Structure 1
Amino acid sequence: HSDPPALILLRGFLFAAAVTAAPGAPPSFREAVEGARTLVGKILEGVPPAYSAAVSAQGFTLDPPVQNLNLHLLTLSLHIPAPPVLKPVSENFPLDTCVSRMAGGVQLHQNLLAVLSGRLSGLEELKADLRDLLAHIMKLKEAALIRGDASEQNRGSDLEARLTDSYTVQVAAHAVLTQLRSFCHDLSRSFRALAAYRPHL
Structure 2
Amino acid sequence: MNTPTAVALLHCFLFAVLVRSAPAPLPAFRETAERAKTLVEKILRDLPDVHAATINTEGLTLDPSTQTANLQMMVTSLGIPAGPVIKPLSERFTLDMCVSRMLAGGRLYQGLLGILSERLSGLTDVRADLRDLLTHLRKMKEAAQLADDGLDQNPSLDLSTRLHGNYEVQVAVHLTLTQLRSFCHDLIRSLRAIARASGTR
> Do the aligned residues in 1 keep the contact of 2:101 with 2:151 (CA within 8 Å)?
no
Secondary structure of 2:174's counterpart equals helix
Structure 2, gaps ≥5 residues long: 1-23
Distance 1:33 1:150, change over 3 A: same
Q: Does 1:72 align with 2:72?
A: yes
Q: Summarize the Cα distance change of 1:57–1:47 in structure 2 as closer, same or farther, 3 Å threshold.
A: same
User: Radius of gyration: which is bigger?
Assistant: 1
Q: TM-score, normalised by structure 2?
A: 0.82
Query: Residue type of the partner of 1:68?
Result: T
Answer whether contact 1:108 1:152 (CA < 8 A) is retained.
no
Residue aligning to 1:114: 114
Partner of 2:195: 195
The percent identity for this pair of structures is 54
Partner residue, 1:11? none
For residue 25 of structure 1, report the CA deviation from its aligned partner: 1.1
Residue 109 (structure 2) pairs with residue 99 (structure 1)? no
2:49 corresponds to: 49
The two structures, once aligned, show a CA RMSD in angstroms of 1.7
Q: Deviations 1:56-88 (Å, cap 9, x if unpaired)?
A: 111211124423333332232112111110011
AA partner of residue 116 (structure 1): L
Residues 67, 146 of structure 1: alpha-carbon distance in 2 compared, 3 angstrom cutoff:
closer
* Aligned residue in 2 for 1:145: 145
**Corresponding position: 1:168 with 2:168:** yes
C-alpha displacement at 1:150, in angstroms?
Answer: 5.9
2:37 is aligned with 1:40: no
Q: Secondary structure at the match of 1:83?
A: coil
Q: 1:57 to 1:152 in 2, by over 3 A?
A: farther
Number of corresponding residues: 176
How big is the shift at 1:130?
0.3
Where in structure 2 are the equivalents of 1:124-135 lying within 5 Å? 124-135=124-135
